[in-house]
Amino acid sequence: MHHSVDSNLQAGFDVNVNPIMKIKSVLTVLCSLLICDALHAQSSERPNILFIFLDDFGWKDTGYMGSDFYETPHLDRLAREGMIFTQAYSAAANCAPARASLLSGQYTPRHQVFNVGTRPRGKTKHRRLNHIPGTDTLRTDIQTWAHRIQKAGYRTATMGKWHLSDDPIPYGFDVNVGGTHSGGPPRGYYPPHGKVPGLQDVPDDEFVTTTLSRRAVSFIESSKDQPWFLYLTMFAVHTPIQAKKDLLDKYEAKTPGRLHHNAKMATMIQAVDDGVGRIAAKLEELGLTHQTAIVFFSANGGYGPATDMAPLKGYKGAYYEGGIREPFFVKWPGVVEAGTINETHIIGVDLYPTFLEMTGATAKDGQVQDGLNLVPLFKGGTLSERSLFWHFPAYLQSYGGKGPFEQRDPLFRSRPVGVVRHGDWKLMEFFESGDLELYNLKQDIGESRNLANSHPETLRKLHGIMKEWRQKTGAPIPSDRNPSFDPVAEKQAIEKALALRKSFP
């Protein structure tokens, strides 16, 4: 479902104009239309693609989504010039699994990247089950969309966070700036960055977000005569929450918003937006604006102690909406109607077939794809109804005394859980206890009312869909009891954390 937020444009002629001038006017209009048609055809056939993929960037962290403190004028403008999706999801609630699903087009049970690293998270005595470790590296037999797009004749680059192996080049990229196995910015947002590719020999006072934007401009300039795909996967706004120094005074002096008020986070977000503005200006300068599609997305929900996704519940690491629902827009001149809002449920695995369709690339024979091609949506069409799935057979520890506390218990942002969204309904199954939580997201976007007991038929339907999907994908369910689990220690830790919570305003 989509609708326009712009009024229609109208045009006409003055009947009192000299006939010769009228002919000239008509010819001018016809020429303009022909030029526009040419630009539209050029933009819709194998466009360049700028894919801006932020880290830990929350659903409300842009102006166009409603932030009352952060400033993102360039992103806001691009969003208004394209199609905004209000129900876009990451395929996981934290970094590595979200990226593995994005690059492979597969849900987590297929590629087995379930968490950041393979070690269990949180205190051993607080975990009731042994987690499923999975892997921390995307298998090389899985061809990414970058592989396929590169094979189709595009020059490909990744700039920023990679997190799926030591080197992204074997995964289909011609250029790598900043990509390693590390999950955060190398040694912080300011130099030195060690031996990280492309981040050496940079000015001592240059924020890494600025460095990546500058490298992006250079890549576009050097690739202007061929089709290119730029995966601009910013480190921002992953921890550490480190201010861009020249912007800090501005935000410390600004009146805090009710939703957002962290000055350091605001500088990090403006640094992203300023970089996007520079890239957009370069596209215009090179005459590439109408040949370039821009896609904007985030890996997972925002970092709880520094931002807020309200009215959504939860944040990074949680499988409530605040941890997995993300900002998303696409600007594709000549294809996407500007100023439209789309409420279709989409998910990160959908971008694999979408990027292949946009670039004319072909899929690898026999490689499973869990997503759907979104290009029909971009063109104003619809998708057939389907369910969305998440599978997290592991643990993510709490942020602790820093707050916030929008989680089932104060010790873990997420315990092992499976999730399905079908229509307006969302079901969560917690594997430790077997507890089920059922929400109607249309009526209760904040997931405050568990309807599992009052809607047994819907519960059975969604649980059946979830079980069938787990069997189809071979999703491993943790069931081995942790011999080191200490229920007394867990209870005491929860009570201590709840007491600490009361000290927060």
Strand 417-422, strand 387-392: pairing: antiparallel
pLDDT band at 399 (very low <50, low <70, confident <90, very high): confident
Q: For the residues 464-471, what does the mean pLDDT come to?
A: 99
DSSP 95-120: HHHHHHHHHH---HHHH---SSSSS-
Residue 113's pLDDT is 98
CB atoms within 10 A of CB 276: 24
Residue 402's pLDDT is 58
Residue 500's pLDDT is 78
Task: Express each pLDDT in 347-363 by its tens digit.
Answer: 999 999 999 999 999 99
Strand 436-440, strand 425-430: pairing: antiparallel
In this predicted structure, the answer to whether residue 394 has a pLDDT above a threshold of 80 is: yes
Residue 214's pLDDT is 98
pLDDT band at 197 (very low <50, low <70, confident <90, very high): very high
Q: CB under 8 Å to 190, separation ≥6 — which residues?
A: 204, 205, 206, 207, 208, 242
What rounded mean pLDDT belongs to the chain? 91
pLDDT band at 499 (very low <50, low <70, confident <90, very high): confident
Which residue, chain included where needed, has tokens 């992203």? 272
In this predicted structure, the answer to whether residue 251 has a pLDDT above a threshold of 90 is: yes
Residue 11's pLDDT is 27
Planar angle of CA 9, 10, 12, nearest 5 degrees: 155
* 44-106+142-384 carries CATH number 3.40.1190.20: no
pLDDT band at 471 (very low <50, low <70, confident <90, very high): very high
What tokens were used for 99? 């990226």
pLDDT band at 422 (very low <50, low <70, confident <90, very high): very high
In this predicted structure, the answer to whether residue 25 has a pLDDT above a threshold of 80 is: no
In this predicted structure, the answer to whether residue 30 has a pLDDT above a threshold of 60 is: no
CATH number for the region 385-505 comes to 3.30.1120.10
Q: For the residues 310-324, what does the mean pLDDT come to?
A: 97
In this predicted structure, the answer to whether residue 6 has a pLDDT above a threshold of 70 is: no
Which amino acid type is present at position 468?
Answer: E
In this predicted structure, the answer to whether residue 130 has a pLDDT above a threshold of 60 is: yes
User: What is the percent of the chain with per-residue pLDDT over 70, rounded to a whole number?
Assistant: 90
In this predicted structure, the answer to whether residue 296 has a pLDDT above a threshold of 50 is: yes
Sorted by where each begins, the domain ranges of the chain are 44-106+142-384, 385-505
Which residue, chain included where needed, has tokens 């690739």? 223
Buried/exposed 227-243: b ≥16 CB within 10 Å, e otherwise = bbbbbbbbbbbbbebbb
Q: 296 forms bridges with which residues in the sheet?
A: 52, 329
Strand 155-160, strand 228-233: pairing: parallel
Residue 26's pLDDT is 36
Query: Among 14-23, 85-94, 178-187, where is mean pLDDT lowest?
Result: 14-23
CB atoms within 10 A of CB 190: 18
pLDDT band at 505 (very low <50, low <70, confident <90, very high): low
Residues of the chain by 3-state class (helix, strand, coil), percent to 5: 35, 15, 50
204 HSE (CA, 13 A, CB side)? 0
Is residue 58 within 8 Å of residue 307, measured between CB atoms? yes
Q: For the residues 112-118, what does the mean pLDDT come to?
A: 96
Distance CA 287, CA 504 (A): 53
pLDDT band at 5 (very low <50, low <70, confident <90, very high): very low
pLDDT band at 403 (very low <50, low <70, confident <90, very high): low
3-state SS, residue 165: coil
> What is this structure's pTM?
0.91
Task: Express each pLDDT in 61-108 by its tens digit.
Answer: 999 999 999 999 999 999 999 999 999 999 999 999 999 999 999 999
